[in-house]
Structure 1
């Protein structure tokens, strides 16, 4: 499946190049092969529900924590230690690159990202894009340090880097903060397509640099989050959003690593692989194929569509990730257990499956439940694979 353009190999010390994570359950599944045990990790597993996270965050603002390498690394590692998940997800926020490029943005507790000024007109867009994304080459140093610290500790457990998709960043910028319908963003999209295209190209560059920095520093996979794409029709997504999302992931599509057969005498040739890219959106059941078509290798599926149907819409040949309903994490264990087993079974319709939530971990989730889910997934999938 990895037939992208030839690029530049990752450093020899990178966990993929060094052979630490290349054969992990997660990377194997992302590459389209089914490992002996289904890998599992949870979106928003870093922080939120963990008491050790809340203790660590006392007196520290969200963006400050994201930009303090020691804190970001420790928060990323906490759920890996506690739950035994098959991957770490880098603790950060999608607006971090906006902050570092010079945008006036803060994260307000209980509300989310809030912008100092909404970007509503062509003049506003021109003012915004005057902020040069090239400054990120130096400004992302804390991110690179945090990733390296984390991967040094993770060893053979892969770290997933992530970034917000251009539309989600643009929606925050135009709305000035969170929104239920993103009506101002959708209005700008149609009323001034030229200004919209300029805005989307800029957000693609900013978030693409953020993602690339994480991979170069040691992350073994990339995930592009489009939290608000579900507000769009398929036509609008394809015309006004997909090209920018493709531009964003182009920042990591040229990054490759080499693997060799365990039996060098029989097969001395090395194989060049691309870093796997996952694309996830919320409420995007009707957009799944278009989201894959931007150049992603794996499609994350939210809880609104079952995995067998998602796989059918994707053509039956695309690895999928998902999609436990987060609401069921608080249900009685027999209910949750049956749901997890059903998700595992439906995930078998795809070439490979990484079990995850169909959105993020709710803050009130009992951490012991997440650990129990991890054990269930590992045990049940191992048993499934042994009898098939």
Structure 2
């Protein structure tokens, strides 16, 4: 009889463990009291950094408890990025750009002439790049000193990206997409027929993917010439991401598309409204949230793997840890952890900003 009960207990524990580890299961949620419409950044020690509509940068543990909060003076739309020394960088609508220590203390702030909604990109040498609604694109050093700035013809809320050769790319409301050298010299500018509000993605061969409010997704060569364009017809702010085979994923209005590297449609899914970017997991599963509050997981053919109705519009992009935990916020004042099957895909740009630290820089993959 004792053996029977011992075996039964072991089976119950095993079943419970399997259920707990089933992909798509909500592991924890924490009330944050504000809209989470920026993507989280993950530190090497597992700390999760999120920004919010109530002016805060929060540090959250892997169990969902808040470690500390840092206050700016206005809404934050900029997703945080983590430097090599653990410093957290982000912009605020108080017109400042901030550097905060891993302990939650301000290192410095840099004032611009407008809202800073642009998420920063961090170069290998520590230079930080970001745009502002004052129509300027800034490069500052890790001490908060301006190295250079470039004026554009419109506000900048798109986020910059950095290629493997150090070229810096940024889009503007002036309908132009710019390629700059690390010291701020213009290499070329590509003109679309609408503002550029989403952020680019970079393939391992150097191809740059950008979307425009003109309703097109563009593929550009590193010299600025166009390889192709794909008409989406939409104007949302979802940024493209790539799987390990180079397939591009982007949400536009009521559809999510997967597009082959040659510019032809691979598949689409239309059942909701989409603003956030996707994240691609190492097993090929693509995860993205919707305006209706559903977190979806599909394969590259948009065959559904699982979904989770969470409530509250998800306009941010999921962040995926190395052990497959999916972190995502919503407009329901909640930040959540959901079990996923694997870590990020080994591609050049598997998620918004390219990696878990949100540095906006291509990292070589094996």
TM-score past 0.5 threshold:
no
Bigger relative CO (Cα 8 Å, ≥ 6 apart):
1
TM-score, reference length from structure 1? 0.30
